Amino acid sequence: MNAQLEPLVALLRRYPFGALSLVILLGCGVGVYFLSDDIDLEETARLDRANEGEAMLELLKGGSTQRQELAAVRDATRRIEENLINDADLAGNQWYFYRIEEQTKTRLLELHPQSSPTNDNTTLYKRVPYSLRVSGTYEQVAAYLLALETGPRLTNISSFNFSRRDKEASGGVVLELTLELLGKK
């Protein structure tokens, strides 16, 4: 053994706990030296994760609003689906117009279902066209038109024409309509 190292070895044998502590201290010093370079990288990764967490927290705060909006959209879709007509149910579809006639006290002179357009490219719904003539006083006919526009069935009025029934008779009006109801495909 080297003569210069013999006093150091004797000291280490005399104080083994101190020697072990010195070895651990040197190992920790080397570890700190190598790990200090990674601290900046780890700090930026931590900041990125913190920003992601804050963004998710904001989303969770707005989540109840989004759930309410989704419920409202589903309710509107359900109501639309319930109010679609069935093209094959001719009697039920015509009864819709007769109920409005009954409510508004008008007289439905003509009601004709027309053939659906063949070039209808809509994927979800079918357009079911009708033409009709209604007579009554101006107020009754206007109420019929309003009931069609605001009723449960989804109606698109293509054309309309108001005219007097007789030139001499007062208050007699005829309404001619061409319209489309939205139906199930």
Name the pLDDT band for 183 (thresholds 50, 70, 90): confident
pLDDT at 32: 84
Please give the torsion angle defined by the CA atoms of residues 30, 34, 40 and 44, in that order, rounded to the nearest 10 degrees: -120
Topology of domain 90-184, per CATH?
Alpha-Beta Plaits (3.30.70)
Give the start-to-end residue ranges of the domains of the chain. 37-81, 90-184
Residue 168: what pLDDT? 59
The Cα–Cα gap between 43 and 27 comes to 24
The structure's pTM equals 0.59
Paired with 182 in beta bridges are 127
Comparing CA positions, the residue from 110, 115, 111 lying closest to residue 87 is: 115
Angstrom distance (rounded) from CA 101 to CA 154: 17
- In angstroms, the first-to-last Cα distance of the chain is 99
Q: What share of the chain is helix, strand, coil (3-state, %, to 5)?
A: 55, 25, 20
50-88, pLDDT tens digit by residue?
A: 999 888 877 777 667 777 888 899 999 888 888 888 888
Query: What average pLDDT does the segment 155-183 reach?
Result: 84
Per-residue pLDDT reduced to its tens digit, 104-158: 999 999 999 888 776 766 667 888 899 999 999 989 999 999 999 998 888 889 9
Q: How confident is the model at residue 167 (pLDDT cuts 50, 70, 90)?
A: low
Strand duo 155-164 + 125-136: pairing: unpaired
How many CB atoms lie under 10 A from the CB of residue 117? 13
**Integer CA distances (angstroms), 13 to 5, 20, 33, 117, in order:** 12, 11, 29, 104
